[in-house]
Amino acid sequence: MADLSGQGLKRVILLSDGQANEGVTDASEIAAQCAAWAAKGVTTSTYGLGNSFNEELMVAMARAGGGNHYYGDTADDLMEPFQQELELLGNLCLRDLRLTASVPDGFAVEMVNQLPKTDAGWRLPDLAWGAEAWAVLRVTVPTGALPSAGQLCTVLRVAVVGQSLEGDAVSLERVGLSLPVMTSAAFDNLADDELVTRRLVELAAAEALMGMRQAAAASDWARVDALLEAASRQFAGNEWVAAVLEAMRSIAAGRERERAMKEMMYSSSKLRSRLAAKDESVAFRLAEASSVPAYLRRKPAQGKGDV
C-alpha cells in the first residue's frame, strides 16, 4: 500500500492472478468493494502477470477503485509499470476528479471514452503535474431546436470537481459551449481541430482492438488478421496507433489466445483513458520513452516494459 500524501490518502497496489476462488467471488461485488474503499480515500491499482490472470476482473477493480491497471508478459516487464505508478503517485496534484455535463432539453450527451460512471457524470483519471486529463463528449442536437443560421446555440455546459491531496474540495470553473448555427455549405468548409481528430482516431482504434479481442476469444484468427489489416490502413496516419497495431500484429501471429486478448484489452483501455502530456507531440517516437515521465509514455505494447 502506497501513501499518496502523508495526509491519510492511500493506494492499494495489487499484484494478483485475478482468480476469485475464495470468499467473495462475484466480479461486480468485488468491484463495488473497491469503489466503496475509493470513496474512503483508499484507491486500488492492479497488476497482472503472464497469460493466466483474469484481466476483466483486474481492470474492473482498478476502474471502480479509482486507480490504474497494468500487466506484464514477464516479471521483468512489470518493472516499468511499477515505475510508472510510483512516478504518478509522486507527482499527483488532484484526485477523485469528476466531470458532469448538462445539455438543453431535448439534447443528448454521450461519453465517447467510456470513462467510469459516477452518480452524476464520469470519473476522470487522477491528475499529475505536467499532464492533462481529457474526455470526448458527443452531443446530439435535434434539428428543430436550432435557431436561425448565424445565431449562437448553447449546446453544452461542463463542470469538474475533485480533491487536493490534503482532501480539500476543488471546483474548476464551469464552462459552457455555444456554437454558431451554420449552413451546410459553411459547415463543410470548416477545418478539423487537430487534437480532437487525434483523440477520435485513438478512440476508434480502441474500439477496433476490442473487436479483435472478441474474434481472438473465439480463436477466429482469420478474423483477427482481417481486422488488423483494415485497422492498419484506416489508422496509418497516426504514428502511435500504427505502432500499437504493429505490436499487436506480432502478438497475434503467435496465435496465443490469452496473451492476445490481454494486450488488446489493455491497449484499448490505454487509448481510451490516459493522462497526456500538455505539450504532447503529434509525432510518435520510441525515443520519447526516455524523455517524458513514465506515466505519460505512449507505449506500443502495454505488456512489454520500456526500461
For the chain, what is the total number of helices (H) and then of strands (E)?
8, 14
> Which pLDDT score is estimated for 73?
93
pLDDT at residue 139 is higher than 90: yes
What distance in Å separates the CA atoms of residue 88 and residue 194, rounded to the nearest whole number? 27
Residue 203 has pLDDT above 60, yes or no: yes
pLDDT of 113 reads 92
pLDDT score of 23: 72
The H-or-E segment that residue 245 falls in is: helix 239-253
Cα 160 to Cα 140: distance, rounded to the nearest angstrom? 21
Contact 38, 64 (CB under 8 A): yes
- What is the C-alpha separation between 12 and 76, in angstroms, rounded? 21
What lies within 8 Å, CB to CB, of 149 at 6+ separation is 181, 182, 183, 186
Q: Which three cell numbers stand for residue 64?
A: 471502480
Grid coordinates standing for 280?
504532447
- Report the distance separating Cα 55 and Cα 60, nearest Å: 8
* Cα–Cα distance for residue pair 128/296, rounded to 1 Å: 10
Q: What mean pLDDT comes out for the span 252-268? A: 97
Complete domains list, the chain, with CATH: 2-92 (3.40.50.410), 94-188 (no CATH), 194-296 (no CATH)
How many whole angstroms separate alpha carbon 277 and alpha carbon 125? 13
Model confidence at 187, pLDDT cuts 50, 70, 90, reads confident
Mean pLDDT of the chain: 90
Q: What is the per-residue pLDDT for 5?
A: 46
Q: In the predicted model, is pLDDT for residue 170 greater than 90?
A: yes
- What is the C-alpha to C-alpha distance for residues 61 and 65, in angstroms, rounded to an integer? 6
Gyration radius from the chain CA atoms: 20
Query: Coil, helix or strand for 200?
Result: helix
Distance of alpha carbon 290 from alpha carbon 39, whole angstroms: 35
Give CA–CA dist 133/160, Å, rounded: 11
Q: Which residue has the higher pLDDT, 16 or 46?
A: 46
H or E segment to which residue 185 belongs: helix 184-188
pLDDT of residue 34: 94
pLDDT of residue 289: 61
Q: Rounded mean pLDDT of 216-234?
A: 98
Does position 250 have pLDDT exceeding 90, yes or no?
Answer: yes
Percentage of the chain surpassing pLDDT 90?
72
Is pLDDT larger for residue 118 or for residue 231? 231
Determine phi and psi for 98, rounding to 5 degrees: -130, 130
How many CB atoms within 10 Å of residue 304? 16
265 burial class (0-12, 13-18, 19+ CB within 10 angstroms)?
Answer: buried
What pLDDT is attached to residue 47?
96
Q: Give the residue-averaged pLDDT of 270-285.
A: 88
Q: Residues 44-93: pLDDT tens digits? A: 999 999 998 999 999 999 999 999 999 999 999 999 999 999 999 999 99
Q: Which pLDDT does position 305 carry in this prediction?
A: 81
pLDDT of residue 24: 78
Max mean pLDDT among 5-19, 53-67, 183-197, 211-225 falls in: 211-225
207: pLDDT strictly greater than 80: yes
